[in-house]
Amino acid sequence: MNLSKKAILVLEDGRTFHGASFGADGETFGEMVFNTSMTGYQEILTDPSYAGQIVCMTYPLIGNYGTNTEDTESRRPWVEGFVVREASTVASNWRSTETLDAYLKRNNIVGIEHIDTRALVRHIRDKGAMRAAVSSVDLDPESLLKKVLASPEMANRELASAVTAEKTFNFPAAQEQKFHVVAYDFGVKTNSLREFSKFGCKITVVPADTSADEVLALEPDGIFLSNGPGDPASMTKVVEQVKKLAETQTPIFGICLGHQLIGQVFGGETYKLKFGHRGGNQPIKDLTTGRVEITSHNHGFAVDAESLPADVEVTHINLNDNTVAGLRHKTLPVFSVQYHPESAPGPHDSEYLFERFIGLMENS
């Protein structure tokens, strides 16, 4: 990183933060969001759900343990930009192969440090997530603001097609194969595939635009709808295909964006949250058991509970704001959660959901 190289962050309401450049030199645009995780920055950088977004980490020192080749959750970083209070110049971990700064440079991700991230996060919490720019080449706030206002908004933006796999691929079972799961890749994370694999599932990962007929031709025991970026309301064609799949009585498990799509499949509506949920410390109550789990989240949209029909039951709620965090159909083998049970990064309280899906496939 170059502490003498200046950089600025400009929000669409004109609020400006001056700092130092790190990572790649240049300028970038996206929706300004924040993540409250204390660790796991490499998994966050490579989570495809962050496509179209500039991420601010609330924990003040990021990069302590460097980066490595094993903690990536997809084929490359997807964040549009990275904002931290202080980027560590030293990588202190035996697994580290590269500093965070070098990793961002190599992947052409623009970053800014030495800004007041607390002030930025308080502003976003007060005003809501909004478009922003980070630049180390254009340091004129007025010039950059004009570019921000010309950049696309997140509402009604379809991004799954930008991050999905180009072609179908297989992920083998880690033990004797018991089930075959077809996973829709809207931005799937590698740890989701590892979770299925360790329970004896072979996973066939298919692109986001795969039709219901193509999925059924693969003869799956179950179907997984992954996390992903963008506005779920923009994905009407995918919703139609999932609706056809649900009617076949094939077990379906959705997370994050997949959960929002399942809500729409059964007639529910989604809406944009003020600043979303992003981090590894969200308290979720399982209404079917009364158990509270601490969970990992990354989403800016939610399912409207009031819009769900009588044959869909809300199974989980977020205890911070009572938003819908899980649902299931009362007669079809379909359920979903708003969060990330693969926990990369995050606590492992939610692994039981993979076992619940295994149980559905066993009984179907």
- Does residue 152 have a cis peptide bond before it, meaning omega lies within 30 degrees of 0? no
Per annotation, catalytic residue among 259, 277, 297, 340: 340
The per-residue pLDDT string of the chain (364 residues; one tens digit each, 9 = 90 and over) reads: 556 799 999 999 999 999 999 999 999 999 999 999 999 999 999 999 999 999 999 999 999 999 999 999 999 999 999 999 999 999 999 999 999 999 999 999 999 999 999 999 999 999 999 999 999 999 999 999 999 999 999 999 999 999 999 999 999 999 999 999 999 999 999 999 999 999 999 999 999 999 999 999 999 999 999 999 999 999 999 999 999 999 999 999 999 999 999 999 999 999 999 999 999 999 999 999 999 999 999 999 999 999 999 999 999 999 999 999 999 999 999 999 999 999 999 999 999 999 999 999 999 8
Instruction: Give the pair of three-digit tokens for residue 33.
Output: 């969001």
Indicate the angle between helix axes 257-265 and 236-246, nearest 10 degrees: 70
Sort 43 into a burial class: Cβ within 10 Å, 0-12 / 13-18 / 19+.
buried
The separation between CA 120 and the C-alpha centre of its own chain, rounded to angstroms, equals: 21
Q: State whether residue 76 is helix, strand or coil.
A: coil
The residue annotated as part of the active site, out of 256, 259, 316, 329, is 256
pTM for this one? 0.96
Q: Tokens representing 350? A: 């939610």
Tokens 């600025």 correspond to 8
Q: Where are the alpha helices (DSSP H) in the chain?
A: 41-45, 100-106, 117-127, 141-150, 160-163, 190-198, 212-217, 236-246, 257-265, 352-363
Per the annotation, the verdict on 256 as an active-site residue is yes
Structure tokens that stand for 28 in this block = 């970038």
What b/e string do you get for 148-187 counting C-beta neighbours within 10 Å, with b at 16 or more? Answer: beebeebeebbbbebbbbeeeeebebeeeeebbbbbbbbb
Residue 355 vs residues 195, 199, 253, 359, 360: alpha-carbon distances, Å: 10, 8, 11, 6, 9
- Of the listed 12, 73, 195, 342, which one is catalytic? 342
> What distance in Å separates the CA atoms of residue 102 and residue 168, rounded to the nearest whole number?
32
Cβ–Cβ under 8 Å, residues 300 and 273: yes
